[in-house]
Structure 1
Amino acid sequence: MSSDTKLMAQIAPYQPWLIIAGVFLLFFLLRITRAGLRRRVDEIGYWLFGERGRLIWFWLNAPGVMLHELSHAFVVLLFRPFGFRITSITLFRVKPTPVASVGGRRVVRNGGRQSLQLGEVQYVRPQGRFMSYIGDGLSGIAPLLGGIAMFAFLYWVATGYLLWDFPLDTQQHIRLLRPDWPWWTLIFAPYLILTVTSELWPSRQDWHGARWFVSGLLVLAVILVLILWYTSQLANMLTISAFVAAHIDFALLILLGLDLLFLIIAEVLVHAVRR
């Protein structure tokens, strides 16, 4: 038995856990690359337009911001039979966000990412009802669900493959595009994927509104794990989880590759504007 075969045999019992851990590692790396990309875009904007240049990142992400807000609004409309009603929608607006009131005056946070409000969906709903908590929760995490759905659609538009398909040919080589798929979709789809995934993460306010719903889901997940452990079905659940995690890893690797590509382009532009 070769050393590689021995190594694979030793890793095999831990492979599902490694695949699941890969989701968190890749997500962490993606956060780092996306923050680095934003810093470079901010620097390019500063060199070109001074203080106003920090708005470039927000305007670049306008499609993602609009999808973010429309995802909120879509869920609110779904819960209209339960008394939910939209009072105002702002799809994209860059303005200072008031965070406190002192002596009747609004105090605006200076600098930082949270000092700008990009969009807003305001709605009313009945107080104290069970479905109100469900609606608040789903509305809060709606950008995450909507962003993932749009990413899957744009990935198909760009490559012709579904996100859960591993694009391998008969020789087990990765194919970027499905055979006979038009190449020109790669001109615009990567940018839309970038902006959609930049804005799919719910804001702090969104998470706050969804806290009871998310907490309930976590409690149910813990109960499910305990039931599976008690019935000796946890191994089967781990296999399914690893299968799903493998596809998530693949999606995150695609995003990471796109980030590195845009980082290289941004780095070239940074050096160009510094001259």
Structure 2
Amino acid sequence: MKITNTQTILLAGATGYLGGYIAKALVEHQYNAKLIARSVQKLQTLERKTVKIVKAEVTQPETLKGICEGVTTVISTVGITRQKEGLTYMDVDYQANINLLNEAKKAGVKKLIYVSAINGNKYRHLKIFEAKEKFVDALKASGLDYTIIRPNGFFSDMKDFLDMARKGKIYLFGHGEQKFNPIHGEDLAIVCLQAIASPSTEIIVGGPDVLTLNEIGEMALEALDKPIKIIHLPDWTRRFIIWALRTFTSSKTYGPIEFFLTLMADDHIAPRFGAKRLSQFFKSQTT
């Protein structure tokens, strides 16, 4: 990867799963960088002459004033899967990123890189995507250069398979032959850094292995030395669960379940990238 020291990168979401890998990559590749954190102690080990840790909360715009001064590119991984602390998807995935975008425009930032998810525009009816894609619309209309990163699921999301495997059985909806290629955060961090100099406005990316849900289930059971037991439930039960949750619970409860159950119903195959393999990740989580 070609590194240019004329860039100064502001990273928002540095204490999250993906943000943590991007922060380490910025240090490793000797970028000038500012890392935003509510708790600066969490990032103190990354502080360098070229890397400054800045205390701020993206949901509170008054804490962001002047934060983009001297910054050439903003990278945002800000978003939530599960709503907590009284914050909604609109509060975080949309408004917090709007707060960053407003500061970036004031400071003359050249580019903003935003991490959304694969097929976000197709699934705008889902609560999580509604907020993400509303921000994507605002970013496209902002006048800034931008790149939307659309990963095909994180390895960390696959821990649900390990949780089922620990109980001895994997439950899937339908035939289980739906295919996708999730990506490790370390590999995705490289994609995000490459986007700094990329002219692409959208990058769809997945991991190196295209896998069926059945294969992922088998991997999880094998990682725990469990017999292969996969139960296939009728697909109507998946649709009924989504309907029932949307009807009888709040978005805080149904948002993440709706997201996972909807995306697991179809193939989602992205261009392959990286070297980290899901089977190795599963084994690392069981030792």
TM-score, structure 2 length as denominator?
0.20
Instruction: Compare the two structures and name the one with the higher helix fraction.
Output: 1
Q: Max radius of gyration: which structure?
A: 1
Instruction: Compare the two structures and name the one with the higher strand fraction.
Output: 2
TM-score, structure 1 length as denominator?
0.21
